[in-house]
Amino acid sequence: MTAPLFITRDQSLLDELLRLAAAAGVTPDVAIDGGSALRAWSAAPLVLVGADVAEEMARISPARRPGVYVAAWGPVPDVMFRVALDVGAESVAQLPRSEAWLTETLTDLGDAGGGAPAAGLVVGVVGGSGGAGATTFACALGQLAARRGRAVVVDADPLGPGVDRVLGLEDRDGVRWDGLCQTTGRLSARSLREALPRREGLGALTWHAGTPGSLQAFAVREVLSAAKRGHDLVVVDLPRTADPVVDEVAARCDRLLVVVVPTVAGVASAVRICARHPDPTTVRLVVRGGGIDPQVVARATGIPVLATMADQRGLGEAIDLGLGPVRSRRGSLGRAATEVLDQLLLLRAAAA
């Protein structure tokens, strides 16, 4: 059983719930009595109990489980909230006031194919100094992550080269930030995934070539929410500039990677970048190139080193050919990106 379960004999309420389900792209199972409801009760990812049958269901005492709500049309008497507790509901959804919330909840189920909504990791990548190669490393993570599942690289740097160009996706049709920043409202994971320029399991979100744009807070929140629901890994290429929207994006990342060039100037700049983030427990270093010992870099910044890599030969040629930065997992860039992805899998497993 992967479909949400609606339990009601109120045809008007059922018609409204079915309308919302259709808008969200899900097909529910419908029960009109306790017996048929109990057969689907435990396996359904979401259960909506109509106010007309809530007392009946409470008397049956179904097993306690999350994701149960009482649905009612219009205001409900105070006694209904007690009944909702008796049936094990988390709250009462009063239509039409709760219509937006309910549509979002059903949309999440549709994005996840009817099961539990996806909960991908969000990883930010920022250069510890100019020219550190943060965009290249972000794209490398996206390339290799797409071989394991769904991945997307989100370009949050309007003055960068554009992640679609680095990944060889600039000629692919799809929506860019320019379009998303002009829209409002709920963005479903499936709609975003299907709209982006992509190659197989990897999508990219950036700007059209030309005049640089700017991030809009509402659009960024919707994109990150939808991207996280619809992908296993979301890689965000962050600019080094201080900005309230950029700081909010960084705060929403499960892991923040600072790419450091191990020179005196590079480490000094990385110290400032790392100090800008209030939660150092989410920050890790990726050291690129030779010079200062990585452990010295870690002591200077107060941040652990997650991976090190040498400069990649033939990197510019691979990008110019539209192949993306990773031509082989055996190269220094491929090995470092693989090491980081393996660590991220452990982070995801620990959070599960």
The per-residue pLDDT for range 57-98, each reduced to its tens digit, is 999 999 999 889 999 998 889 999 999 999 999 989 999 988
Q: Does some domain include residue 116?
A: no
The reply to whether 272 falls in a domain is yes
**Is 113's pLDDT higher than 60?**
no
Q: Is residue 136 part of a domain?
A: yes
- Domain annotation covers residue 316: yes
Mean pLDDT calculated for residue range 18-47: 91
Model confidence over 37-56: pLDDT tens digits?
999 999 999 999 999 999 99
Range of the domain at 60: 5-111
List Cα–Cα distances, 241 to 23, 27, 160, 272, 339, in angstroms.
40, 45, 12, 11, 28
Q: Taking residues 11-22, report their average pLDDT.
A: 95
260, β-bridge pairs: 287
Average pLDDT, the chain: 89
| One domain for residues 53 and 128 | no
Residue 49 CB partners (closer than 8 Å, separation 6+)? 7, 8, 57, 68, 69, 70, 71, 87, 89
| CATH at residue 39 | 3.40.50.10140
pLDDT at 350: 67
Same domain, 152 and 291: yes
**Residue 115's pLDDT band (boundaries 50, 70, 90)?**
low
- Tell me, yes or no, whether 106 and 156 share the same domain: no
Count structural domains, the chain.
2
282 shares a domain with 179: yes
Give the tokens for residue 340: 């980081």
DSSP 127: E
Mean pLDDT is lowest, of 171-175, 221-225, 293-297, for 221-225
- Residue 176 in any domain: the answer is yes
Burial 102-118 (b: 16+ CB within 10 A, else e): bbebbbbbbbbebeebb
One domain for residues 17 and 162 = no
- Where does a domain end: 86, 111, 136? 111
Show which of 111, 141, 161 is a domain's final residue: 111
Q: Are residues 235 and 270 in the same domain?
A: yes
* One domain, residues 79 and 159: no
261, 162: one domain: yes
Of 53, 83, 111, the domain-final residue: 111
